Amino acid sequence: MKLKMIAASVVLALSNPALAADEALDEVVVTAPQSSAPLTVKTDPKKPRQPVPAHDGADYLKTIPGFSVIRKGGTDGDPVLRGMAGSRLNILLDGENILGGCGMRMDPPTAYVFPAAYDSITVLKGPQTVLYGPGNSAGTVLFERNIDRAQQSGIHADGSLMLGSYGRNDQMLDVKGGSQDHYVQGIYTRSDANDYQDGNGAAVHSAYTRWSANAALGWTPSDDIRLELSAAKSDGKAAYADRAMDGAKFARDNLGLKFDKRNMGGLLDGVEAQLYHNYIDHVMDNYSLRTFAASMMMPNPAVSNPDRTTDGARAVVTLVPGDAMQLKLGMDHQVNKHTLRSTMNQNMTPYESKTRVQDAAFRNSGVFGELSVGVSDTSRVVGGLRADNWHAEDSRSMVMRGMTTVMNPSANHTRSTTLSSGFVRHEQEIGAHTVYAGLGMTQRFPDYWELINKESATSASVFDTLSPEKTTQIDVGMSYAAGDWSGSVSGFYSKVSDFILIESNVNKGTAMMPVMVSIARNISATTYGGEAGVVWHMIDTVKLDGTLSYVRGSNDTDSLALAQLPPLEARLGATFDNRTWSVGGLLRVVAAQDRVAVNQGNIAGQDIGATAGFAVFSLNGAYRLGKTAQLSAGVDNLFDRSYAEHLSRAGSMVSGFTQTSRVNEMGRNIWVKANVAF
């Protein structure tokens, strides 16, 4: 593999001089973060980790057991948790919902996530909470920033620069200033990379550039009160190896207002309120990031420009009816509108001159309550209920069928329904163990990509006939920490009625004149699996750890395997760390996957075929210079293995690049990083 760039990276932190080295300069994350509570995983996105992820939300999530990513190029992959993708996985940025615009999922919500701008990532697995919006049948992911009033006086800055193979170049600057009563914060991130090469030395159309700017102004008159006004702006561009177009624009504009008051001491113990506005403006074309090549489908330079406006609000009160009870009651509301303008000949009719046309609008209002009761000193019961009123409007007058347009049979139709969700979970401490078992049920309304962007088996629109999805799931598990050992194991069993299946390459024409379309339909499905992790501190300076994840599913209606499920995966890590030097290794082993259903899947991708297993080995090391500096380096995919993930999208023909059956992963990647804190 030819290395295009190998360089150092410097992280500058001007922070509290009393900050301990083990707080500021931590170990490289190699296997995965461990569970911190039942069905909960937390990680710090600012820590160095191996393999070095792309600068987007999905690639950070794939380091957590149970997560996979549907590869499209160098960035903006679709995250998958336990085989579930799309709106089955709630993504919240500081409590805000964000939705992409591309009908082909070029920009999932995580495409607008810049992890280095956040202080923590929390994953809540399964339908085991009702606090963070509807439809979380797979789980919920929270990207959050933390404010510490005790340390906000004065001026503090954290900055980073990373350069690596294939022109990788990341920068981040986080500046905070203020007093105990007021603060202002500004965060800037930028990431850039050239096309990478796979293990065979073949270039993959995957270059990207992404940047974001965030600002916040806060008032904190006490440790328990915060009022914050925030704003964000970001943009980027990304080349894709799996399709005939690239992303030329990923613009986001955001405004948010948040109020928190906690530890009030009475029955009413806390109040939270939030308002937000997100606007996404996305452009995709077939010429700005690739050599234009005329085709039957697109003989001229073409552009598609969807956008989406999402406005939301949320309010929660925390009640403490007794010493061992906590009740959260709240409501949330969201409205989003999607519009589109496009041109099939940018030279003759520029898309900028065309009027945006609304094709869909959604509205949801939810009420919820979640109660935690301490049954004894060693056990508690947690449960919640939620009701959501949905409204959707189909604004399309015409719809595409193959290369032609036809009248939309559901033009100006609306749908309204009320859906419910709930769960109950028992947690028990037994010595060093914590065991739990929970039952959750959630109903999920079809999203834009299922309801608006697909046909039915018998009609050019599925808007009137696609049923909401209903998931019932059992979650069980255990965590353990004692002496030199710690670990966790979790398992789930899920039955889904009216599972929304996407099926591609369905012929609605004839054998002589085929018309290939993608349809959405309801089926019955079953999934089960789990994750496990263990850490063993052999001695003070040596640690061994490993994780395992597995999911299996069936399409019970068609008597087929459920499509788009990742194979069995194991990660084994070893680390030597004497708080001055550290050396670590990561072996990732992925099994073959032959349980497939070709052309079936979800809104993010469909099965292509079976895949072989593979193993990838990576190394890293770090050196700490007292409490103020750290130098780290790593080699990902040390043996330059050529491989593709099972959930990768199919490779497309891009002029100047070799077409592959799947989008191959990166070959050998060398990185060096230095951290400084003072």
**How many residues belong to the chain?**
678
**Does a structural domain hold residue 132?**
yes
CA 678/CA 581 separation, integer angstroms: 19
Percent of the chain predicted with pLDDT > 70: 95
Instruction: Assess contact for 245 and 285: CB atoms under 8 A.
Output: yes
| Three-state DSSP class for residue 481 | strand
pLDDT, tens digit, for every residue of 316-346?
A: 999 999 989 999 999 999 999 999 999 999 9
Largest CA distance in the chain: 76
When mean pLDDT is compared across 10-14, 241-245, 290-294, the lowest value belongs to 10-14
**Does a structural domain hold residue 332?**
yes
Per-residue DSSP letter, 49: B
Give the pairing type, strands 600-601 and 614-625: unpaired
- Confidence band for 19, pLDDT divided at 50, 70 and 90: very low
Domain count, the chain: 1
**Does a structural domain hold residue 472?**
yes
For 601, phi then psi, to 5°, come to 170, -135
- Confidence band for 678, pLDDT divided at 50, 70 and 90: low
Is the pTM value of this prediction over 0.75? Answer: yes
> 338: Cβ–Cβ under 8 A, 6 or more apart, which residues?
101, 306, 307, 308, 358, 359, 360, 361, 448, 452
pLDDT, tens digit, for every residue of 443-455?
A: 999 999 999 999 9
Q: What pLDDT was estimated at residue 14?
A: 28
| Cβ-based burial of 78 (10 A; exposed 0-12, middle 13-18, buried ≥19) | buried
Decide if pLDDT at 51 tops 90: no
- Confidence band for 33, pLDDT divided at 50, 70 and 90: low
Q: What pLDDT was estimated at residue 31?
A: 62
**Does a structural domain hold residue 635?**
yes
Instruction: Assess contact for 51 and 571: CB atoms under 8 A.
Output: no
- Confidence band for 400, pLDDT divided at 50, 70 and 90: confident
Mean pLDDT of 100-118: 92
Take residue 574 and report the two structure tokens written for it. 């070893």
**Does a structural domain hold residue 4?**
no
Q: What pLDDT was estimated at residue 3?
A: 37
CA 604/CA 502 separation, integer angstroms: 9
Mean pLDDT of 276-281: 98
Per-residue DSSP letter, 451: H
Per-residue DSSP letter, 33: P
**Does a structural domain hold residue 451?**
yes
pLDDT, tens digit, for every residue of 338-375?
A: 999 999 999 999 999 999 999 999 999 999 999 999 99
Containing structural domain, residue 258: 10-677
The vertex-53 CA angle with 282 and 627, nearest 5°, equals: 125
pLDDT, tens digit, for every residue of 557-595?
A: 999 999 999 999 999 999 999 988 999 999 999 999 999
Instruction: Assess contact for 586 and 618: CB atoms under 8 A.
Output: yes
Decide if pLDDT at 9 tops 50: no
Which amino acid belongs to residue 72? K
Mean pLDDT of the chain: 91
Mean pLDDT of 241-260: 97
DSSP string, 104-140: T-SS-GGGG--GGG-SEEEEEESS---TT-S--SSEE
pLDDT, tens digit, for every residue of 120-172?
A: 999 999 999 999 999 899 999 999 998 888 788 888 888 888 889 999 999 88
Q: What pLDDT was estimated at residue 50?
A: 78
Specify the CATH number for the domain of residue 216: 2.40.170.20
When mean pLDDT is compared across 383-392, 520-529, 651-660, the lowest value belongs to 651-660
- Confidence band for 16, pLDDT divided at 50, 70 and 90: very low
Q: What pLDDT was estimated at residue 36?
A: 65
Q: What pLDDT was estimated at residue 34?
A: 61
**Does a structural domain hold residue 176?**
yes
Which of 144, 137, 130, 124 lies closest to 86 in space, CA to CA? 137
pLDDT, tens digit, for every residue of 212-238?
A: 999 999 999 999 999 999 999 999 999
- Confidence band for 646, pLDDT divided at 50, 70 and 90: very high
**Does a structural domain hold residue 499?**
yes
Which of 639, 617, 665, 613 lies closest to 202 in space, CA to CA? 665
Decide if pLDDT at 185 tops 90: yes
Percent of the chain predicted with pLDDT > 90: 79
